Amino acid sequence: MAQRKQLTWAELRVGLFVLAGLFIMAVAIFYVTGAGILGPKYRLITYLPEVEGVTTGAPVRLDGVEIGNVETIKLTPHPQDRMHNIELILRIDKKFQESIRTDSDASLITEGLLGNRYVTVSRGLTGTVIPNNGIIPGKEEAAMKALVERGAELMQNLGTLSDDLRGIVDKVQNGQGTLGLFMNDPSFYRHLDATAARLDAMTTSIQQGQGTIGKLTSSDDFYNKASAALGHVDDVVVAVQQQKGTVGRLVYDPAMYDSAKNFMDKGNGVLDDVRAGKGTLGKALHDDALYNNLRDAASNVRDASAKLNSNEGTAGKFFTDPKLYDNMTGLTSDLRLMVNDFRKDPKKFLHVKLAMF
């Protein structure tokens, strides 16, 4: 009899452990899928155009704060528009009821790019509180819509790009354009091969020390000459630093500077005297008498030139009358003849006759 009582107690303990496990599991389920199991709840209804990826028990968040979960998801029998395609009943913790008002809305959010989707509710500020089983306006997920539209546009652009690339490849294969000729014309390869051969021959000649570049790269003469030239330049610099030679004295001797300074001072003094009207140059620059005399002289020269050109006076006739030229030419001829006669017979011109009265 005692043995039967001990077995019944063991069975009871197993039953209690099973019930405790079930209770713990239920609490865990409510904790994962709901906003708590002890607080009061109320329900809201919203309509969305699609709920792909959303399951029963998905979280409901108010501006990022979890406030409940999705209780049921079902198709609307006769939707009036696409926005009323799917009906969702949201099980919300009642302590957040004051924050959900008629100016709130519900929409779907995707976690990351390919993460789970959940319902998000915007917090109301000016509207009235939505009661139990009230309807909260639904809104299509803007990010997903934009992503789909951009994806469609991207696919269209990719299709256009693919067609363009196909056209380019066809032209290249047909030998059209620069790239097509490059890929299909064997003469270009032959030119490249000939150029490579010339470059190889040039490199070989340079390595053998032939030509100017070859001598520069293989002979030490240029380096020795450059080194010697640098040595001479260094000697010149040292000589200048030691104040040797004309350049050294010009660089380091202050007498040159003093002489140049004295010359500049004297030059400035001369310019000051000229500006003050002193001396011949100063008077020439500042006295109007010299200008008037030069102007009168130029006027006289102009008048004299005019008279010469107009054949007035002795000088004018001398320059412009052709008779004078003819007479002078005839006189010159007569003199030349007389000189010739004198050379031939000087006695003819030197005969003197004396007579006595």
SS (H, E, C) the chain: CHHHHHHHHHHHHHHHHHHHHHHHHHHHHHHHHCCCCCCCEEEEEEEECCCCCCCCCCEEEECCEEEEEEEEEEECCCCCCHHHCEEEEEEEEHHHHHHCECCCCEEEEECCCCCCEEEEECCCCCCCECCCCEECCECCCHHHHHHHHHHHHHHHHHHHHHHHHHHHHHHHHCCCHHHHHHHHCHHHHHHHHHHHHHHHHHHHHHHCCCHHHHHHHHCCHHHHHHHHHHHHHHHHHHHHHCCCHHHHHHHHCHHHHHHHHHHHHHHHHHHHHHHCCCHHHHHHHHCHHHHHHHHHHHHHHHHHHHHHHCCCHHHHHHHHCHHHHHHHHHHHHHHHHHHHHHHHCCHHHHCCCCCCC
pLDDT tens-place string over residues 14-59 = 778 888 888 888 777 666 554 455 568 999 999 999 888 899 999 9
Whole-prediction pTM: 0.37
Least confident piece of the model among 3-7, 273-277, 329-333:
3-7
Highest mean pLDDT among 10-14, 70-74, 341-345, 350-354: 70-74
Mean pLDDT of 320-325: 68
List, for residues 155-195, the tens digit of each pLDDT value. Answer: 778 878 888 888 788 777 777 777 777 777 777 777 777 88
Question: Which pLDDT does position 38 carry in this prediction?
Answer: 57
Q: What pLDDT does residue 354 have?
A: 46
Q: Report domain extents, the chain.
A: 34-143, 156-219
